[in-house]
Amino acid sequence: MILVTGGAGFIGANFVLDWLASNRGPVVNLDKLTYAGNLENLAALKDDPRHIFVRGDIGDAALIEKLLQQYQPRAIVNFAAESHVDRSIHGPEDFVQTNVLGTFHLLEAVRAYWSGLAEEQRAAFRFLHVSTDEVYGSLGPNDAAFTETTPYAPNSPYSASKAASDHLVRAYHHTYGLPVLTTNCSNNYGSYQFPEKLIPLIILNALNGKPLPIYGDGLNVRDWLYVGDHCSAIRAVLEQGRVGETYNIGGCNEMANIDVVKTVCALLDELKPATQPYAALIIYVKDRAGHDRRYAIDARKIESELKWRPSETFETGIRKTVQWYLENQSWVAHVVSGEYQGWLAKNYGGGRT
């Protein structure tokens, strides 16, 4: 039994689905079900007795303590987080509450539970904290990629709150001996991603004939990681990672945002052609505040220590992703709520062609 937090969100749900598909044991799945947590992501597990869903907050210490005592998990995988830069700019308090204070309360409850385990169980227990490359700040075009020892330099309320949570996890290992692991990943894409993020936003807008908004000049660079590869990397770290260590997880796919959008448009032209090329819908909008120019991951540590490398190229992963959204339009329709429309207006209102 493992306990997964945030397991109804994009990455968490993919992880739970992959974990159970590979028959690695039952999962207790704790999720608060905020706007991006969606039980439809887990519809395939509706009648699966190995999946136990609990609606709740990682900041609810009493609930966490109850779940730990009831299910006696051998590991915690912590995905629970507010995770979008734009939302953190407009409402930073939620990010501090969940990512900092929520992580603190979770760590406290886990520390008490772990301390009470028998020696053999204590030695086998793991707390894996899932984080982001954004904690490292921004790179210039010729700077070396982020390594696990790159100094933290977060530039948004989101990345600052994740940096704080990373530091708390590290401190609980060095102060209390809690057997932790931390992963810092690059930009994920794939099935079940809420359409506020670039790739599903572009797919959704294109299919509806709406403008495809690109921040600034479109030359901000990200390393793109297919979510299935991210899940396999987390499993590798959980099973083989050295306690107390951090592992960077990257997709080996650095691309400018405008090139990502043009690739998606070309795939849509092929798979669902319209009266004009989808790229004709591209517009440029005012850049967001504190927009980091480039992220890049040096993933040599996880490759050398754990023999993990991504299986998907960007070309194979993005094709799978576009096909998934085309085949799952009912899922898309259900997640596009009034709140999402308000978010679009706030962040992408008033563009220029």
Residue 340 is predicted with a pLDDT of: 53
- pTM of the complete model: 0.93
Q: Is 134 a catalytic residue?
A: yes
81 touches 99 (CB < 8 A):
yes
Length of the chain: 353
Catalytic residue among 134, 196, 229, 292: 134
Among 57, 82, 133, 166, the one annotated catalytic = 133
Cβ contact 162:131 at 8 Å: yes
SS3 73: coil
Supply the mean pLDDT for the chain.
93
Q: Is position 133 annotated as part of the catalytic site? A: yes
Q: What is the pLDDT of residues 83-118, one digit of tens each?
A: 878 888 989 999 999 999 999 999 999 999 999 999
Please, are residues 227 and 163 in contact by the beta-carbon 8 Å criterion?
no
Q: Where are the beta strands (DSSP E) in 85-150?
A: 126-132
Q: Where are the beta strands (DSSP E) in the chain?
A: 2-5, 27-31, 51-55, 75-78, 126-132, 180-185, 187-189, 212-215, 221-226, 246-249, 254-256, 282-285
CATH architecture of 2-189+226-251+293-311: 3-Layer(aba) Sandwich (3.40)
Cα–Cα distance list, 299 to 5, 73, 146, 149 (Å)? 25, 29, 9, 12
**Which two structure tokens, joined as six digits, stand for 250?**
């990257």
Residue 121, CA atoms < 13 Å, CB-side half-sphere: 11
Asked if residues 222 and 295 have their Cβ atoms less than 8 Å apart, the reply is yes
- For the chain, what are the domain ranges? 2-189+226-251+293-311
Check 57, 86, 136, 158 and give the catalytic one. 158
Q: Which amino acid is at 65?
A: E
> What gap in Å lies between CA 156 and CA 194, rounded to an integer?
20
What is the predicted pLDDT for the residue at 352?
40
Per-residue confidence in pLDDT tens, the chain, 353 aa: 999 999 999 999 999 999 999 999 999 999 998 877 888 999 999 999 999 999 999 999 999 999 999 999 999 999 999 887 888 898 999 999 999 999 999 999 999 999 999 999 999 999 999 999 999 999 999 999 999 999 999 999 999 999 999 999 999 999 999 999 999 999 999 999 988 889 999 999 999 999 999 999 999 999 999 999 999 999 999 999 999 999 999 999 999 999 999 999 999 999 999 999 999 999 999 988 878 899 999 999 999 999 999 999 999 999 999 999 999 998 888 887 656 556 556 665 644 43
Rounded to 10°, the helix 103-115/157-176 angle is: 20
- Residue 319 has a pLDDT of 98
